[in-house]
Every structure is written in structure tokens, then in C-alpha cells.
Structure 1
Amino acid sequence: MHCAVPPNRDTFDRGELHPNLLRTPRCARRAGRTPAARYVPDRTSGPVPVVIMSHGMADSADRLADNGFGVILYDHRGFGPSDGEPRQEFAPIAQCRDMQMAITFAQSCSAFDADRVALWGTIFSGGHVLAVAAIDTRVRAVVSQAPWIAGTEIARDILGSEGLAAFWEVFNAERRTLLGGGRPSLSPVVRHPAALRGSSGTSR
């Protein structure tokens, strides 16, 4: 089997968030649209099983397509080419809902078998696929690699009980800010090399 190269480029509508899901001013608006790469194997005699994959993994998508599987590959809202604000926001509930919309989109493609849908996730998405499979009866198989499924326990081990309580208060303060119409805050995860040079006073 050989993957159709390049994959087809599509976009699926993420629908709307229920206004009661999270009570912030931006929750009731349309959630936006997500570009998706649709991999369809060559030389198939009928609809093929389809794997939903999020956040990168193009190499794995190629391998799956080479072995006769269809793939829908996309980035979560606020990441990569997907729209959504704020950017780079980790929102597991919203991301799980987007994954369900990706399933719906995959089932609308005639090249894919709507009754043979699998989810594939790694680390953070590895937790998502387990949660979605538990509530969505359309999922027939799951691949969850090094899943992030015990975040609270990991944080407690690192921060201790008092540190974890302070950590949660940061989120509660953020919610109060959003409720008052404020903008979400951002935390740096990776520092630009220029910033590192400036802080140390030396060049590398």
C-alpha cells in the first residue's frame, strides 16, 4: 500500500461549546475551524479503517497509510494552523470535544469506514484518547502512548500538598480575571536563545 502524497487538506468545523461548560465570556461563541490532513491509501477496494491523530505525528500517519489505514491528522485549537484564542492554551475538555468532531468529520468521508474508527494519542493526547473512548461509542480502538493521566498526583509529588493548593489558586485567580473581562495570562515554556544570552550577559 502507498499513501496518497501529499495528503488531502481539509477543514472541519469544531462546532460550538456549550455555554455551561466553562463560564467565561468566550465560551458561548463559535469555537472555530481546524485544518486537517486526510491520508487515503492507494489501491483500496472499499472504505478503510480510519485513525484520528492529533498534534503532529506525520511520520506515523505515513506509516499507517502505507499499511492500508486512513488517517485524519490535525492540531488542537490554538496550536499550529488551527485557529482559536488564546494561542497555545492547554484545554483538555475542549480538546476532547474537538476530537469527537474529528471523528464526525472522518465518518463523513466516503473513503473511510464509519464503523472502524480508532484514536491515537501521545502524552497529553494520550490521555485525551482514553477519555474520548470512554464516552464515545463510535470509537473501536485506541492507541495511547505514554499517556498523561495522573497530572494531579504528579503535581502533588513535585510540589507537595501546599504547593499544589497554591497552584490551583493560580487557576482560580485566572478564572476570576476572565469573568471580569480580562485577558488570559501566558507562561513561558521555552525561552528564546536571545533572551538567554541577555540574562547571562554572554553569547553562546
Structure 2
Amino acid sequence: MPTTARTQFRSGQDHCAAWITEPDPALHGEGPHPAVVLVHGFGATHGMRLAQYEQAFAAAGMVVLAFDFRHLGDSGGSPRQLVSVRRQLNDIDAALDFIREDTAVDPARVAVWGTSMGGTHVTLTAANHPELAAAVVQCPVLNSRNAAFSSGLRHVAKLAGPITSDLIRAALHLPRRYLAIADEPGREAIVTVPGARQGWLGMVSDGVAFDNRVTASVGAELLLLNAAAKASEIQIPFLVCVSDHETLMDPRIAARVARQAPRGEAIHYPADHFEVYHAPLAEGIIADQTAFLMRHLGLADQVSGQTEQIIDA
């Protein structure tokens, strides 16, 4: 059975708490193995349903690295709950450097996987890192401007005051202004579509603390961010798992990104934004992602070779 160990790596002046899950050496040998780096969604942390992906990918023969972004969860960084896409992209680069230095990893066979807002991060990372072996995104939020307006123009206007206040506070080095990540429709939060609050809280494992707030200034960054525009620059194999009943973004955007990426593929699921993490859909989605990663990380060839050896014997 794959085993998970706690570790950490440096990013900027702080550290990112990280977890490495390794394949069973009795089944997959000592390596070097291919690897996949997991990138979580907006304000989320390692304890929010990543274990099912860690275990599945490692059981297929991959080393899996998951981590908390700086300022979140068990990672360092002050102020707490600061969300900056630019800084988080730097964290992903640091994670890639860290996993490539692992002696159990083949640095030429490294993939990235992202969920929800992590889909934006992985799309931008895939466009900037043609040396990667593959990338996977599920229920991706690829145009955060579109996502922001999913709650209506009045909602966006309501957030202008907290966003401006936090930008001023940051410039003056004052205590930050926070907004809830997710709440009920009509409340003051980044995401207020129906079911969002229950969806975020439904991701939290027993015994895991979840801080449902972020620095308000991220709202300004989200209004300007459109990772979907980078689709044509992604030269690596790119799987987009599209939730056809997506609640946070128009799902046609995700489907279009898969078409525009030169080596893009799309698989569609009858899911909203949060159903992909839970039964009965999660098992099948993870199986599809595992098969895609095995194919592009060279593991399918290894499995075929092992089968041929057994037949020859």
C-alpha cells in the first residue's frame, strides 16, 4: 500500500508544508518513478479530500507530491490566508524543483494535476513549462472573471469596498481586511453561488480545521485573470475533466480550452463543481485521470511489459 510522509520545501522566504506519497516498492520497485504534483483549489488545504488522489496515483506507480500554498494551512507565511496567484505559481515552481531532486523520481516524467481554481494554476504552469510530461485539471475554474460574475453584478459591486480597503491596508502595512471564501447567496464572500458554502465545507475531512476566509485584495486579481487564454500555448498532453453542470464557471470554457490546446483532451461528467470529489462519480473520474497519467508517464508501457513477461514465463 502506498505510504505518505510529511515534509516541506522552501518557497521564497517561507516554507510550504508538503506530503509525499510513494508507490509500494514490492509492486513497483525502487524507482526512479514518474511523479505528479497536486495543486488544490481556492483557499483549500491538503486535508480537503486530496488523499483519494494521492493513493490512486501512487498505487499506479507514481510518486505524488501534495502541498499547502504559503499563507495557508500548515505552511508558513504572514499574513495568514493571503491568496496571491502570482505567489502561488511560484510555490508550484518550487514544488516542481523539489520533487525533481527526489532520488526516487525520474525528473523527465513529472506531471501536474489541479482542481477547481488549481485548474487556473495548472493551465498557466503547463503553458510555461513545456518540459512537463502531462497535465490534468478537473472542475477547472479557468476564467475567474467569468466565475466572479456568476453571482451577479450586484455581488461584484458589493465586494469593491472590502477589496479597496485591503489593497490600502496592504500598502500601509496595516492588519488585513478579510472576506469569506464561500457563503450563502447574498452574503459578503468571494463565492456565493447556491451550494458553494456547503460544497467547501463538504471537502473538509474529520479533524481538519478550515479557515473560511482570504485577504480581500485577491478579488481584484481574480477579476483580471483568464487562464483560458493560454490554452493554445500548452504543448504537453492536457486532460480537461469537464463538469457539465458546473456551478462556478460556464463549462463551455473548459471544453473550449481542451479543443484549443494542441494536445488537449476532454472528458465530460454529469457533475456540478463539487460532485466530482464524492461518490458515486469520484472513483470513475480518478480512474480516467490515472489512465491518462499512466499513458503519458510511461507506466502503461511498463504494465504491458510486465504482462508480456508473465505470458512468456
TM-score by shorter chain over 0.5: yes
Structure 1 stretches lacking a partner, 5+ long: 16-29, 192-204
Aligned 8 A contact 2:162 2:178 in 1: no
Query: Partner residue of 1:184?
Result: 176
Aligned 8 A contact 1:58 1:73 in 2: no
Change (3 A) 1:12 1:163: same
Aligned 8 A contact 1:51 1:117 in 2: yes
Distance in 2 of aligned mates of 1:190 and 1:163: 13
Query: Partner residue of 1:39?
Result: 21
Structure 2 stretches lacking a partner, 5+ long: 41-45, 184-313
Which of residues 8, 12, 34 is equivalent to 1:49? 34
Change (3 A) 1:182 1:92: same
Distance in 1 of aligned mates of 2:128 and 2:119: 15
The alpha carbon displacement at 1:49 in A equals 0.7
2:65 counterpart letter in structure 1:
I
96-105 or 125-134: bigger deviation? 125-134
Query: Partner residue of 1:13?
Result: 10
Change (3 A) 1:58 1:163: closer
RMSD of the TM alignment (CA)?
A: 2.1
Query: Partner residue of 2:86?
Result: 93
The alpha carbon displacement at 1:77 in A equals 1.4
- Is residue 62 from structure 1 mapped to residue 55 from structure 2 by the alignment? yes
Change (3 A) 1:168 1:132: farther
Aligned 8 A contact 1:156 1:164 in 2: yes
Query: Partner residue of 2:134?
Result: 141
Distance in 1 of aligned mates of 2:23 and 2:147: 40
1:10 counterpart letter in structure 2:
T
2:75 counterpart SS class: coil
Change (3 A) 1:157 1:189: closer
Which of residues 168, 174, 184 is equivalent to 2:166? 174
TM-score, length basis structure 2: 0.51
The alpha carbon displacement at 1:170 in A equals 4.0
Which of residues 122, 128, 135 is equivalent to 2:121? 128
Moved over 3 A (4+): 162-170, 188-191
The alpha carbon displacement at 1:101 in A equals 0.4
The alpha carbon displacement at 1:131 in A equals 0.9
Query: Partner residue of 2:97?
Result: 104
Distance in 2 of aligned mates of 1:163 and 1:34: 33
Aligned 8 A contact 1:52 1:73 in 2: yes
Aligned 8 A contact 1:37 1:74 in 2: yes
2:31 counterpart letter in structure 1:
G
Distance in 2 of aligned mates of 1:84 and 1:45: 35
Give the fraction of aligned pairs with identical amino acids, expressed as a percent: 27
136-145 or 100-109: bigger deviation? 136-145
Aligned 8 A contact 1:40 1:69 in 2: yes
Aligned 8 A contact 2:166 2:178 in 1: no
Distance in 1 of aligned mates of 2:123 and 2:181: 26
134-143 or 95-104: bigger deviation? 134-143
Distance in 2 of aligned mates of 1:121 and 1:179: 31
Change (3 A) 1:71 1:98: same
Query: Partner residue of 2:72?
Result: 79
1:102 counterpart SS class: helix
Query: Partner residue of 2:282?
Result: none
The alpha carbon displacement at 1:168 in A equals 4.7
Query: Partner residue of 1:197?
Result: none
40-49 or 99-108: bigger deviation? 40-49
1:137 counterpart SS class: coil
